[in-house]
Structure 1
Amino acid sequence: MWGSFTAWCLGQSPAVSLASLDVRDLQAFQAARFGMKSADLSLSPRHALRLLRLIDRVLHHHAAETGQPANTAASDWIEAHPEIRYAEAAQADPLPEFLSVAEARHLITFLSDARPRPSLSGSRRDSHLAFTWQQLRNRVAVALQLGGGLAPGDVRVLTVDAPTSRGGRVRERPWKVAVPGNGNSPARETPIAPWAGELLQHWLQVRAEARILGNFLFPSTRSGKPWSKEAQYKAARQVLEEAGLDSSDGGSFRLRHTFALRQLRRGTDSDQVARWLGVEPEAMGKYRRVVSTPEDVI
């Protein structure tokens, strides 16, 4: 968030500095992103509040370093916009959308058609042979969102050495993945469901046999180019549509929410789930409003 804000400031004429920043600049920055999709750096009320709080902290730090009065532009802007100021209030924080148990079961079965299943008979046993490497990539990426709680951005930055098979219950089957850190969360490891591990194991084999280059686990091309936000978004949406599930905007985030809720319903400590998701423990409140007691889930 800070990177996009500073890039905007430096792109103005004249450039906006910490000293010159005022409420009008903040309003212009917000307006420049109004109505844009999240993939294009749109600022939702909650993200706007977080960014403005960050800017306010930077301004106060700058004042302490220089001995000058603090620039209050950020706090003034927050105060003047109640829809932003109360964005994190419980009543303004919508409950996460997630898959029902039946929907999750259906999607897991659908995704698993892309891997070998020798226990089945006839055409179903060999159905995986009809998939192109891109189709398999798309399904495995969706599987890691549902089976590992990864966000779309996490999926795109995974490297080929992210999966860990050693120490798992089944030889050569990945059971966790390492997600690199970014400006919003530290590097972390998160477990993946066995069925997702089976799909990932098959993908690693197909990826090697196809001689796909580069270090990205899910590249865009055989030459190893990174998967763009738009292309990955469209791919996830198509997988959900083919599975007969709603694929409206933000639909794939329901997979991540489903993972979080499944872990909480199994009795996993919420702080541990937060670490797996790469979020602050406070962010788990929206899930706790859905889950009151542990229960058996898929």
Structure 2
Amino acid sequence: MNKLAHWDANPVKSFAAFVASPEFALTSSRQRDLVPKPVSPESAAIYRFMFGKFAAWMLEERLKISTVTARDLHRFVQLAHDGHRDLNSKIAYRYLRLLERCYEYLERSPNPARDAIVGIDRAQITRDAPMTALNADELQRFLAALPGQPADDEGKASGWKRRRDRAMQVTMALAGLRVAEAIGLLVDEIGRQRDVEGGLTLNITPEHKHPTSYEHTTTLPKEGVAELTAWLDERTELKIPGALVFPANLEGEPLHKATVYRQVKATFERAGLAVPRAGGRTLRNTFASQQLRQGTPQSELSTTLGLALERSAEAYKYAKVNEETSDAEPGPTAKDA
């Protein structure tokens, strides 16, 4: 069986072997060493995550590595991620360049990814949209608009999902969890003892959560602990099986990302917050931006967020944050950090 047939049969496994090999380094346009150096484990994890999304898309489209065309690749980068990806965006180019390297290794001619790149005007490649973060006032408005307010008269049988959503969104906003990390959060990953400031540690393991996340520990501050512990008590009373902190149903099955997105977006709408991305990513951006403004070193933030590379945390310095409208004393700026 030739290489292309192997990739058709098991693309994810084949790519994982390729990205860890010297051959992958040889396909880099930046490779200048006589003896190619394999990519770092951190970079390999990111590449595997990217290719995994492409492999899942191929499966949905009933395509194979050997049958994908340049037109197919244009559809992938434009539609597969958020439904309206600009063909001239940086992320589109990165995906096509990665796939070009795969097809170069597989010696497929013509190279469909290279042909697809021809359709991109590299001089017009748009900047990735700046990440958005809430300021302190906006964050308080978001928290005030959470579902499942304690004053609700609903009983546990009818209102438990809203109280689950409330606790989950508090945890995401105040502890900086990715959506996948919140969905996959396990009961035994929550610390049993509060720290000196009243917070609870969350020991996040990447398994079944996010492919590019690394094991890390973050802290839910005391402002959010009451919400989480109240939900955990209710979860116990409901006798929900399994280990997921925020299950989808009373059978303990996992939530879907789309469900979490809709619920978070609804909270943004109730709060009257018009942001470009009204989802969990903005909550995580807010956490990271505030940490930097409060003087948290970039290296420490990288560890807290479970990032593969320290330099990845630098992007949060440039998150778009509106000026605060309250009279509160402003904290240190990203520059100060």
Map 1:241-280; keep pairs closer than 5 Å.
Answer: 241-246=269-274, 249-279=277-307, 280=309
- For 1:49, the equivalent position in structure 2 comes to 93
TM-score of the superposed pair, with normalisation by structure 1: 0.73
2:73 paired with 1:26:
yes
- Deviations for 1:168-213, whole angstroms, at most 9, x for unmatched residues? 2378x62324142432333332222221222111111111112122
| Aligned partners of 1:186 and 1:278 also within 8 Å | yes
2:139 to 96, 104, 107: 104
1:202 to 218, 224, 230: 230
| Aligned partners of 1:45 and 1:83 also within 8 Å | no
2:109 paired with 1:81:
no
Percent identity between matched residues is 25
CA, structure 1 residues 228+113, in 2 after alignment: closer, same or farther (shift >3 Å)? closer
Deviation, 1:222, is 0.9
| Aligned partners of 2:241 and 2:251 also within 8 Å | yes
Partner amino acid for 2:185?
L
Please, which moves more after superposition, 275-284 or 134-143? 275-284
CA distance in 1, matches of 2:299, 2:124: 26
Map 1:1-298; keep pairs closer than 5 Å.
Answer: 1-9=50-58, 15-17=64-66, 23-30=70-77, 33=80, 36=83, 45-59=89-103, 62=105, 73-75=112-114, 77-78=116-117, 80-82=119-121, 86-87=125-126, 92-109=127-144, 111=146, 114=149, 127=151, 130=154, 132-166=159-193, 168-169=195-196, 174-181=200-207, 182-246=210-274, 249-279=277-307, 280-289=309-318, 291-294=333-336
Secondary structure at the counterpart of residue 204 of structure 2: strand
CA distance in 2, matches of 1:219, 1:37: 30
Secondary structure at the counterpart of residue 188 of structure 2: coil
| Aligned partners of 2:201 and 2:217 also within 8 Å | no
CA, structure 1 residues 211+266, in 2 after alignment: closer, same or farther (shift >3 Å)? same
Deviation, 1:138, is 0.9
TM-score of the superposed pair, with normalisation by structure 2: 0.65
| Aligned partners of 2:268 and 2:278 also within 8 Å | no
Partner amino acid for 2:310?
P
Unpaired segments ≥5 residues, structure 1: 116-126
Deviation, 1:263, is 0.4
Give the aligned CA root-mean-square deviation in angstroms. 3.7
Deviation, 1:167, is 6.1
CA distance in 2, matches of 1:145, 1:194: 14
Unpaired segments ≥5 residues, structure 2: 1-49, 320-332
| Aligned partners of 1:95 and 1:287 also within 8 Å | no
- For 1:124, the equivalent position in structure 2 comes to none
- For 1:120, the equivalent position in structure 2 comes to none
Partner amino acid for 2:268?
L
CA, structure 1 residues 106+4, in 2 after alignment: closer, same or farther (shift >3 Å)? closer
Please, which moves more after superposition, 267-276 or 213-222? 267-276
